[in-house]
Amino acid sequence: MERKYVKRLLGKYCKIVTKEPGEQRASAITGKIEEIDTDDGFVIIDSNQGLGCININTIVAIKPSSKHKYQQRKFSKEDHAAIGIGTLIVFIAMILVAAVAASVIIQTSESLQNRANAVAKQTIREVSSGMQIVDVTGYTDESKTKIEFLAISIRPRAGSYDLDLNETLIYLEHDNLTVLNLNYLNGNESVAGAVNIDGIFHTLNHSVLTSVNYGVIAVRDEDDSITNSYGMGSSDLAIVIINLSAALSETGGLEPNGEFTGRLVPEVGSNGIFWIKAPNAFPHKVVEL
């Protein structure tokens, strides 16, 4: 290769074919010729592999090349960068999907936890609350042949939540099933704050005691919750008055040796269950049952 010809290619992009002595195959390299040392016989070339030094005596062919083709080929060697960007995009997308999934899982777990807490509180309330029957007393007619009115002393069970008498039903099972509720529409006529001097069976107006309605007398009600809102606290005591002559319409009341069962069913908690059996005779108008 003539050295003068090589000098004319200084600073240009060229394709150089070299062959080492004793080698069977030639090799080619493309790049910009940066420097030519004719004294020592070397060519400095900047290729896509970096700076390199070529012995002029090993050059068998040299051809000017386009800079555009060189850069295009160089860029084609760097396609790993595009793959890296694609991988980064996929990685970010996976992080976003994982974040959304984690958010959904957290929200779902919080919702389930809130529901579990609500169910637990409701279960505790159902188990611990309830109505307790303290005493049952009857009141006969003038001829002492039937029990016309029934007085049931009640209070919340120990540890019970407050009970709403307005939501408490009374079931009487005799010849038929009778359901009674508190006649709260009549206000103070159905709920009395204290026992009348004439006794518990003369405290309420009998006209509000029907076959489907009962009345309430507050015996112990320090915060007036029974009379004001029909609610019973843990320390309250009340008497429920039932008109048996109206509720047991088939017999007009409870006859001697008669019996029936009943349940006080609060809104939440256990029921207050009672069983009534009348004595053989009624020597007094007030009968302990």
pTM to 2 decimal places: 0.58
d(CA 274, CA 122): 26
Rg (C-alpha) for the chain, rounded Å, is 52
pLDDT by residue for the chain (289 residues), tens only, comes to 566 666 777 778 888 888 888 787 888 888 888 887 777 778 888 888 888 888 878 878 878 877 655 455 554 555 555 566 778 888 888 998 888 888 888 888 888 888 877 777 766 666 667 888 999 999 999 999 999 999 999 999 887 778 888 888 999 888 777 788 776 655 567 888 888 888 888 888 888 888 888 999 999 988 888 888 888 888 899 999 999 998 888 888 899 998 889 999 988 888 889 998 999 999 999 999 8
User: What is the per-residue burial (b if ≥16 Cβ within 10 Å, else e) of 181-217?
Assistant: ebbeebeeebbbeeeeeeebbebbeeebbebebbbbb
Write down the pLDDT at residue 70. Answer: 46
Query: Is there a contact between 148 and 245 (Cβ–Cβ < 8 Å)?
Result: yes
CATH topology of domain 3-76: SH3 type barrels. (2.30.30)
For residues 3 and 55, what is the distance between their CA atoms, to the nearest angstrom? Answer: 11
Look up residue 63 and give its two tokens. Answer: 């051809």
Backbone phi, psi, residue 202, to 5°: -120, 15
Report residue 284 as tokens.
């007094």
Distance between CA atoms of 245 and 241, rounded to whole angstroms?
Answer: 12
Reading phi first (left if > 0) and then psi (alpha if -120 to 50, else beta), residue 211 is in: alpha
Half-sphere CA count of 74, side-chain side, radius 13 A: 16
Q: What is the pLDDT of residue 256?
A: 92
**Which residue shows structure tokens 């038929």?**
176
What span, in angstroms and rounded, lies between the C-alpha atoms of 44 and 46? 7
Q: Is 42 exposed, middle or buried (0-12, 13-18, 19+ CB in 10 A)?
A: middle
CB count in 10 Å sphere of residue 248: 25
pLDDT for res 83:
64
pLDDT of residue 122: 66
213 and 181 Cβ atoms separated by less than 8 Å:
yes
C-alpha to C-alpha distance for 1 and 3, rounded to whole angstroms: 6
Domain with CATH 2.30.30.100 in the chain: 3-76
pLDDT at 75 (0 to 100): 47
Nearest-angstrom CA–CA distance, 129 and 156: 7
In the chain, what is the straight-line distance between the N-terminal and C-terminal CA atoms, in Å?
134
- If we measure between CA atoms, which residue out of 28, 2, 4, 1 comes closest to residue 14? 28
